[in-house]
Amino acid sequence: MKHYSNGQRNSIRVEDVIRLLEAVTQVRRVRDGWEVICPFHTDTNASMKVWNNGGWCCLGCDAKGNLSSLYEMLNGQQPKRTSNHSRTSSVTKGYQNIGTPIAEYIYRAESGAPLFKVVRFMPKSFRQMRWTENNWKWGLRDVRRVLYNLNLIHQYPGAMVVLVEGEKDADLLTRHGILATTCPMGAGKWRGEYGESLRSRTVILIPDNDEVGIKHMATIATYLNKNKIADARIVTIPSEYKDVSEWGEIEKIKEILR
């Protein structure tokens, strides 16, 4: 199985990074890694996530990269501090009552140019914004809809693509060397034109463990195979987990993709 690769193995262990983090901030072990109150912000939310091969802060500061990068940052090469207020004020304008923005997922054209993004709020909800000439505006009016990570799909024409339900799952897999995508707006929102981005590929579809997700992926697989667009097949994760992110066992996920 050919994997997309987005980084090289480094000598720093995840335990080294966690030890430094625990000395300056709060760290909590979770199923697929560690949730961390980012030490480069003044907020008290666990906005940073660390895995066995790297980590990132979902509020958009420079705290991101492989384990070596994070280790260097924590040893004195401090990233630029980002104001949480300035980071989120443009996002929350007009939606002050729906919650706190905790992540954003940018959909890009083949060239890498931004087209639109999905903003995730806590309590859990989602809103969409489109890129105009020089700023973001709410809504997707007249925007070309594309698959998530289309720029990477275009960049790696020979790589297998894994189709999951949601940008969070796609990001998790892609960080671990598996080129993953999703269609915008979730289950039931597949469009025929998305198939062209997957033409002549091997496409593995991993549904969420619910009736809607299973039906969603079955419909896409049938469409891709029936129209001879791609060699598509569905694989499932253990039934006790609701999705790829909750399972989080990357090596086992790689096994089921072979």
DSSP secondary-structure letter at 40? T
Identify whether residues 194 and 154 lie together within a single domain. Answer: yes
Among the three residues 33, 49, 74, which one is the final residue of a domain in this structure? 74
* Structural domains of the chain, count: 3
Confidence of residue 7 (pLDDT cuts 50, 70, 90): very low
Identify whether residues 181 and 91 lie together within a single domain. Answer: no
Kindly state the percentage of the chain with pLDDT values over 90. 39
What one-character-per-residue DSSP string does 191-216 give? Answer: -GGGGGGGTT-EEEE---SSHHHHHH
- pLDDT reported for residue 42: 63
Identify whether residues 68 and 89 lie together within a single domain. Answer: no
Identify whether residues 88 and 69 lie together within a single domain. Answer: no
CA 227 to chain centroid = 28
Identify whether residues 63 and 110 lie together within a single domain. Answer: no
- pLDDT reported for residue 78: 46
Among the three residues 74, 93, 121, which one is the final residue of a domain in this structure? 74
Identify whether residues 159 and 237 lie together within a single domain. Answer: yes
Q: Residues 126, 131, 137, CA angle at the centre, nearest 5°?
A: 60
Identify whether residues 154 and 249 lie together within a single domain. Answer: yes
Q: Which residues pair with 12 in a beta bridge?
A: none
Identify whether residues 114 and 188 lie together within a single domain. Answer: no
Whether pLDDT at 137 is above 70: yes
Confidence of residue 59 (pLDDT cuts 50, 70, 90): low
> Does 19 reside within a domain?
yes
- pLDDT reported for residue 154: 94
- pLDDT reported for residue 84: 36
* Contact call for residues 146 and 194 (beta carbons, < 8 A): yes
pTM, rounded to two decimals: 0.65
Q: Which residue has the higher pLDDT, 95 or 67?
A: 67
pLDDT per residue as tens digits for the range 149-186 = 999 999 999 899 999 999 999 999 998 889 999 999 88
Identify whether residues 156 and 222 lie together within a single domain. Answer: yes
Strand order in the sheet with 231-234: 180-181, 161-163, 202-205, 231-234
Alpha-carbon distance 130 to 147, whole Å?
A: 15
Alpha carbon separation from 166 to 10, 28, 147 (Å, rounded): 29, 24, 11
**Average pLDDT score over residue span 108-121:** 90
Strand segments, DSSP code E, in 52-163 are 54-57, 64-66, 100-108, 114-122, 125-131, 136-138, 161-163
Identify whether residues 122 and 31 lie together within a single domain. Answer: no
Identify whether residues 168 and 239 lie together within a single domain. Answer: yes
Q: Which residues pair with 51 in a beta bridge?
A: 54
Instruction: Look over the chain and give the mean of its residue pLDDT values, rounded to a whole number.
Output: 82
Domain that holds residue 242: 150-257
Give kind and range of the element (H or E) at residue 27. Answer: strand 27-30
CA 106 to chain centroid = 10
> Does 246 reside within a domain?
yes
Whether pLDDT at 126 is above 70: yes
Identify whether residues 120 and 198 lie together within a single domain. Answer: no
Half-sphere exposure of 79 (CA within 13 A, CB side): 22
Q: Which residue has the higher pLDDT, 48 or 190?
A: 190
Q: Is 219 helix (H, G, I), strand (E, B) or coil?
A: helix
Q: Residues 244, 213, 232, CA angle at the centre, nearest 5°?
A: 80
